[in-house]
Amino acid sequence: MRTRIARTLVATVCAVALASPPSPALAGEDAWRPKMGQAINFAKNRAGSVRIAVVDELGRFYGWRQRRSTPMASVLKVMFMTAYLRLPSVRDRGLRQKDRDLLEPMIRWSDNATASRIRDIVGGRRLDALANRAGMRDFSFHYSPWGLSRTSARDQARFMYRLERWIPNRHEAYARRLLRTIVKSQRWGIPSEVPDGWRIFFKGGWGSGTGWVTHQVAFLKNGDRRIAIAILVRDSPNHTYGTRTIRGVARRLLKGL
């Protein structure tokens, strides 16, 4: 009995550190946990180097090679969007068409030209400040090319889990809509494995089809339930192989959700 109570208290402390308290129905030992063992066994047998991080619905963190940093590619665009929406000239007003003309292409179909324009607007100092505020330990910004900025799976899973905390309230719904409506051709990997009843909000990053990097970061919601995942893959034989690695890892992680 004492052991059970102790475990429950540990889970509660972890949840408070990352998010609002879970509903009573989810507390304790009955809550879902990612199938890390199955995902790791799969990843070990894939070409390339895989990094995995998950935050579950109680706010508990799980990781494998989660501290190893890697070039971000287009995963950085979520931070670009967040830093832009936090600008003093943007945060307290409604979005204008010129704002949407930058943000929508950058997120929904991963346009690089608009990403570079936003980089020039927000600058490295704001990105570093956002990373510090979000508790990122492994982020480093590279101005040009910005895709060489570095991150880790643990940074990205925690960032996505609490994403709306860093976005002004009036812009939260818009940011979620962009991340929910990524174009079909880029919905490989985790989106294919989302369980019934859950919605995914995500962004991918890749190395122009080479397989040099193939990443996805996401949070999933089902009512008040929420989890976050980061799967970062280096040195796949090609892009398609990398996307299949992400899908296979996600399929195993999400069993029973």
Is residue 202 included in any domain, yes or no? yes
Integer Cα distance of 214 and 201 in angstroms:
17
Q: Establish if 3 belongs to a structural domain.
A: no
209 in a domain, yes or no? yes
Inter-residue contact 175 to 168 (CB < 8 Å): no
Domain membership of residue 213 (yes or no) is yes
- Residues in Cβ contact with 84 at an 8 Å cutoff, skipping those fewer than 6 apart: 90, 99, 102, 103, 118, 121, 122
Helix, strand or coil, per DSSP, at residue 135: coil
Domain count of the chain? 1
CB 182 within 8 A of CB 108: yes
Domain of residue 46, CATH code: 3.40.710.10
pLDDT tens, 31-50?
899 999 999 999 999 999 99
Distance CA 225, CA 223 (A): 5
What's the pTM value of the predicted model, to 2 decimals? 0.89
Per the domain annotation, does 165 fall within a domain?
Answer: yes
Per-residue pLDDT of the chain (257 residues; tens, 9 = 90+): 444 444 444 343 343 344 444 444 445 567 899 999 999 999 999 999 999 999 999 999 999 999 999 999 999 999 999 999 999 999 999 999 999 999 999 999 999 999 999 999 999 999 999 999 999 999 999 999 999 999 999 999 999 999 999 999 999 999 999 999 999 999 999 999 999 999 999 999 998 879 999 999 999 999 999 999 999 999 999 999 999 999 999 999 999 99
C-alpha span between 65 and 82 (Å, rounded): 26
Structural domain contains residue 146: yes
Domain ranges, residue 148: 33-253
DSSP-derived secondary structure letter, 256: T
In a domain? residue 111: yes
pLDDT digits (tens, 9 = 90+) for 128-139: 999 999 999 999
Question: And the tokens for 120?
Answer: 């020039």
Is 170 buried (19+), middle (13-18) or exposed (0-12) by CB count in 10 A?
middle
Residue 12 lies in a domain: no
